[in-house]
A and B are shown apart, each in its own frame.
Chain A
Amino acid sequence: MLAAILSLGGIGLAAAVALGFAAKKFAVEVDPRELAVAEVLSGANCGACGYPGCAAYAKAVATGEAAPNLCTPGGASTVDKIAHIMGVAAVTASPQIAVVLCQGDNPKAKAKYRYLGVADCNAAQKIADGPKECPGGCLGLGTCARVCPFGAIEITPEGLAVISREKCTGCKKCVPACPRSVIRMAPLDATVHVLCNSRDKGAVVRKYCQVGCIACHICAKTVPEAYVVEENLARVVYEHYDQAAPAVAKCPTKCIRDFVEGYPEGSTFAPPVVPVKAEAAA
């Protein structure tokens, strides 16, 4: 009994000494700043920064390879903290969110054919360029919702992707996932968007969608600073997003939406609480 305790204990002791020695001898030096940066990152491993995970990004920041403002889920406060650790001036990138530029769900946009296949937008797009007449509209099969690491995208019962302003961190993962490029990035503060992605002429759009942009230029005439019409499609000039609101009521097809008034029909997301801008409040 005693022999067993001693021999096993002895082996344990010897191994402990050897391991302890090896740990000291072969220790890899880690930049303390790297650890500190990793600490303040969101830990979402979303890849929005372009690095495979938060640890890799922390290392890149510590070596000076990456800018400190690439962590979109972390937002401004994380950028400040990283800048503080690295001793550089904080350059806050304005926070962005993803927007689905389409309101043409199944009742509102005409279908080209009845699709019964794999529930995936990329698979559907391969069959005669997708089951919607509109070449740019949301197919509503949820490929974007599946790649979103934050659960910020839902598909309404009528087949339209809607992005939550609260949950979206602007990681951009959904943007390349969409085969029709319906999802675009926009400044978080902008609440008014032209929700259409069709570059067809107005007369063609009218035939297949009740809520498509017909390029009538009314928005651009109402607020010339805030809207441009290119390739038969109006869009908000996001530098002047704060002036965009007056055109919402004037749009004849209601394809310009102010998210302050809530999400498209069928969405379960609660109406967003939009921060009141400092100047506007004063």
Chain B
Amino acid sequence: MKLKTFPGGLHPPDNKEWSANKAIETCPLPGELVIPLAQHIGAPAELCVAKGDHVKKGQVIGTAKGFVSVPVHSSTSGEVTAIEPRPHASGRNLPAVVIRPDGEDTWVEGISGADPETLSPDAIRECIRAAGIVGMGGATFPAHVKLTPPENKPIHTLVINGVECEPYLTADHRLMLEETDRVLDGIVILKRVLGVARAQVGIEANKPDAIEVMTKACAGKGIEVVPLAVKYPQGAEKQLILALTGREVPSGGLPMDVGVVVQNVGTAAAVSDAVRRGLPLIERIATVTGPGVTTPKNLRVRVGTPLTHLVEFCGGLKGDPAKIIMGGPMMGATQLSLDVPATRGTSGVLLFREGEIPLRPEGPCIRCGRCVQVCPAHIMPTTIAAYARLDLIAEAEEFGAMDCIECGCCTYTCPATLPLVQAIRYGKGAILAKRRKV
């Protein structure tokens, strides 16, 4: 049978065998947790503790500032030793709360869950917001915002993203295998919040065990598990919707424009914890892998754990790292050091040594058209990148620069190693700056 998918895209060597069969291990507490106040897209949380305070596990240390914002919680109990700018995944030093764990790991009082059946959709939304749940696929968009569609955009389908198309990453795969119940419960709650009858779980066909387990668990619950072709970026929101429902999200539009809401499997599991047990989002599952680490592992990681600690728990570094990537190799962000802490959006940490990362000088475009062939957004990366580099912003916009999902397929496939996605991203920034000015 031909598997469902979208046009375009490519399949880079997925290297998932490094960690796909490793059961999730719990990473021990580090000597110091660094919890950044900016862990989501939108306004950073506002600090509400002071240096010297004793905080408990699950206590709010930053309150949400605005609608597109969520609170930040302490991931263990201990003393706040500093509140200062620390290295952040974005490459800048951003405000963070530094906590020295007391080893007790005592929960803050008043943590209690409820049976989702007894709660109204609005009460569940509030639970989700208060727990600080963000898109766990890596985009970290506050989940409650996506779950509050405007009235004129009726939602008929909930799509659950279990694709994990990024090479190397296996966190979602292990989560679906080992914690199926949590994921399933989360899906049921999300269905209830949105009031939809239909839910689909998309899983790439390279995880047959996860498909089997999930299909068995979802049987008879109005949740359909759909195996999808193994292709990157199958897990991108718009591509996933196209593959599953056949609907194309219009240019400049959102999934809600075609009546769909997409949530990651990790988000679903976090929603279950938040509603049923009242737990805030203070830990997640992340894959630490790559040729630069001794033993690749899937870890349950507390938010704020420095990457050094994760790597140590995985047997340490194998040689000097030449490149550290947080997230997947295609869309993840390169890190300047291992001092950066893991956040709610950290789906993985990849380590590469010198010689394992291709470094070729940029050549001239040979007009081969490969970037156009693989582009899942049906735009012409080479043309837009050329315009962006010449600062011809209006032309770049006209050719659909804003439709670029920054998946990096064009850059990956380019035989001339042109930095296409970077140039387009630069162009998108200039277009947005121009729109703000006008």
Contact = CB atoms under 8 A, between A and B. Distances in A.
A118 B423 contact: yes
Nearest to A147: B391
B423 A123 contact: yes
Interface stretch (A6-14, A83-91, A109-117, A157-165): A109-117
Contact of B359 (A116, A123, A127): A116
Contacts of B362: 116
Given A113-B334, A128-B336, A118 B92 contact: no
A276 to B, nearest CB: 41
A200 interface: no
B334 A118 contact: no
B422 interface: yes
A126 B422 CA distance: 10
A128 B90 contact: yes
Contacts of A80: none
B429 A126 contact: yes
Contacts of A242: none
Contacts of A129: 91-92
B16 interface: no
A189 interface: no
Interface string B408-433: 00000000000100110110010000
Contacts of B90: 128
Contact of A112 (B336, B419, B423, B429): B336
A92 B425 CA distance: 44
Contact of A126 (B334, B359, B389, B426): B426
B404 to A, nearest CB: 15
A118 B91 CA distance: 18
Interface string A94-128: 00000000000000000011001110101100111
Contacts of A123: 422-423, 426
A117 B418 CA distance: 8
A150 B362 CA distance: 28
A198 B423 CA distance: 28
Interface of chain A, main secondary structure: loop
Contacts of A113: 334, 336
A129 B88 CA distance: 12
Contacts of A117: 419, 422
B426 A116 contact: no
Interface string B85-114: 000001110000000000000000000000
Contacts of A122: 426
A122 B419 CA distance: 14
A128 B337 CA distance: 12
Nearest to A123: B426
B336 A118 contact: no
Contacts of A126: 425-426, 429
A116 B425 contact: no
A58 to B, nearest CB: 28
Interface in A122-146: 122-123, 126-129
Contacts of A112: 336
Nearest to B361: A116
B429 A118 contact: no
Nearest to B411: A117
B131 to A, nearest CB: 30
A272 B91 CA distance: 40
Contacts of B422: 117-118, 123, 127
Contact of B389 (A116, A118, A127, A128): A118
A126 B336 CA distance: 14
B423 A127 contact: no
Contacts of A127: 91, 422
Interface string B378-389: 000000000001
Contacts of B359: 116
Interface string B359-372: 10010000000000
Contacts of A118: 389, 419, 422-423, 426
Contacts of B425: 126
Nearest to B89: A128
A127 B91 CA distance: 7
Contacts of A116: 359, 362, 419
Contacts of A128: 90-92, 336
Nearest to B359: A116
Of B91, B336, B429, chain A has the most CB atoms within 10 Å of the CB of B91
Contacts of B419: 116-118
Contacts of B336: 112-113, 128
Given A112-B336, A128-B92, 17 more contacts: A113-B334, A113-B336, A116-B359, A117-B419, A118-B389, A118-B422, A118-B426, A122-B426, A123-B422, A126-B425, A126-B429, A127-B91, A127-B422, A128-B90, A128-B91, A128-B336, A129-B92
12 contacts: A112-B336, A116-B359, A116-B419, A118-B422, A118-B423, A120-B426, A123-B422, A123-B423, A127-B422, A128-B91, A128-B92, A128-B336
Interface of A: 112-113, 116-118, 120, 122-123, 126-129
- Which 10 A-B residue pairings sit nearest by Cβ, starting from the closest? A128-B91, A123-B426, A117-B419, A117-B422, A118-B423, A118-B419, A118-B422, A129-B92, A113-B336, A118-B389
